[in-house]
Amino acid sequence: MGTAVGDPAAPTGVGPDRRRDFRTYWLGQSVSVVGDQVAAFVLPTIAITGFGASALQVGILNTVNTGAYTLLGLFVGVFMDRTRRRPVMIVSDLVRAAAFGAVPLLSAAGHLGMGVLYVVAAIAGVFAVFFNVASQSHLPALVGSDFLGTANARMEISNTLSLVVGPTLGGLLIQWWGGPTAMSVNAVSFLFSVAGVVLLRTPEPPMEARAASPVWHDLREGVSVLWQHPVLRRTTIASAARNFGNTAVNTVLLLFAYRALKLSSGVAGLLFASGTVAAVLGAWTVSRLRRRLGTGATLLAANGAGAVWVLAPLALAVPALPLLILLRVVSSFSLPLWNSIVVTLRQGAVPANLLGRVNATAGTLNFSAVPVGALAAGFGAQAGSAAFGTRTGLALTMMAAGICSAAGTVGLLSREVRTLP
């Protein structure tokens, strides 16, 4: 893939034991990510329908949930290159389970409010940083390099399905039990993730012995490795732009569903879940499309598809719900393609002793765009609604978010990316 910075220190093959371990790990993560998406739908729904949250408050809620990467990501990367990764994953899941499990308890005691939702979102966000960096850095050692692309594609299938099952289940749970009780589902899901790690039989490789070095030295090394690699640099920038735009779209789309279309939580969940088949097909066809089109062309097409949301203002002239479902289908197909390829490229280009820092650097840039996108969407939606009315203002904000989502495609036109086999 162009200028490789090293070979990952992971086994090149994958035997039956590793495949069994991956299936165990995959199952636990599949349940957990569904719970994550339940929370991603239920938390803002509680804020909007339970506490009358404004567009800005919804943006702030999404911001505090993802802002931890901006503050801690690089330091977490240094830490993960100095310690075993599985214990960190277990502790992170247990803390998040406790945080989300506290929501129905505090509601029953009459102490639930926007302040509590902000605190829960912040705690979950901090420990998500630890888990995500540890997980992405550990996967190559768990499955081996020959199976890595397939493993990432399968993980992306679970992530994709969770985007469908989570909001749908969240909407139904709200109707059946109410928002706070629905959060208990997410708390339980993290226990499945813990089990998926605890039950692994393949020993975790020992950390590579190396001389002690200052934290700032290790931090700069991780940033430098990522930034000097032409492909990793460009895909990371494009991922950040995509995250900014997608977060803005999702923030505004939920407001559009409730405020402009007057949808129930169940129908709004189905709207967010639309594109299921397309997204799963996108995840399943990653390897086939890479062989047929080449990695570079697949990346260009997948990232450029984010611009589909520029068509959002058509919802003002045609039936809105069918159009929005169509836009979800197109964007849903492209996203797992992009995510799976980018992660695999990064894991395959970076040696194991640097992978925590490089993953954290990429994650910091990518996830820092999420709270900025959520906050920008909140301000944009509020200003647009004041200037043009709710329907027009929200539709125009989604159009602007679509442009931002695909902006990184310009950088992918370089020869290093276009010619990736």
Give just the sign of the alpha carbon dihedral 197, 240, 324, 264: positive
Q: Mind listing the pLDDT tens digit for each residue in 50-106?
A: 888 887 888 788 778 777 878 888 898 888 888 888 999 999 999 999 999 998 899
Residue partners of 319: CB distance under 8 A and separation at least 6: none
Cβ atoms < 10 Å from Cβ of 395? 25
Cβ(55)–Cβ(255) under 8 Å? yes
Please indicate whether residue 18 or residue 337 has the higher confidence score (pLDDT): 337
Tell me the C-alpha distance between 186 and 37, whole Å. 8
CA distances 205 to 84, 144, 209, 353, Å, are 8, 12, 12, 11
Cα within 13 Å of Cα(400), Cβ side:
17
**Average pLDDT score over the chain:** 84
CA distances to 62, 315, 321, 323, 389 from 318, rounded to whole Å, are: 30, 5, 9, 8, 18
At 367-377, the pLDDT tens digits run 788 778 888 99
What letter represents residue 198's amino acid?
A: V
C-alpha dist (Å) from residue 73 to 125, 265, 366: 11, 34, 10
Is residue 25 within 8 A of residue 154, CB to CB? The reply is no
Average pLDDT of span 257-271: 79
Q: What's residue 210's pLDDT?
A: 61
**HEC string for 234-269:** HHHHHHHHHHHHHHHHHHHHHHHHHHHCCCCHHHHH
Distance in Å from the first CA to the final CA of the chain: 8
- Taking each helix axis from N to C terminus, what angle separates 265-273 and 320-349, rounded to the nearest 10 degrees? 50
Per the CB < 8 A criterion, the answer to whether 375 and 59 are in contact is yes
Q: Return the biggest CA–CA distance within the chain.
A: 65
Residue 14 pLDDT > 60, yes or no?
Answer: no
Q: Return the higher-pLDDT residue of 281 and 225.
A: 225
> Which among 163, 207, 243 has a CA at the least distance from the CA of 355?
207
Model confidence over 219-229: pLDDT tens digits? 898 889 999 99
Tokens of 321: 């719900």
Give the integer Cα–Cα distance in Å for 213 and 206.
19
Enumerate domains of the chain plus CATH numbers: 16-203+215-418 (1.20.1250.20)
pLDDT at 46: 86
For the stretch 298-329, pLDDT in tens is 999 999 988 999 998 998 888 888 888 889 88
Task: Please say whether the beta carbons of 318 and 326 come within 8 A.
Answer: no
Assign residue 138 a region: left if phi > 0, alpha if psi is -120 to 50, beta otherwise?
alpha
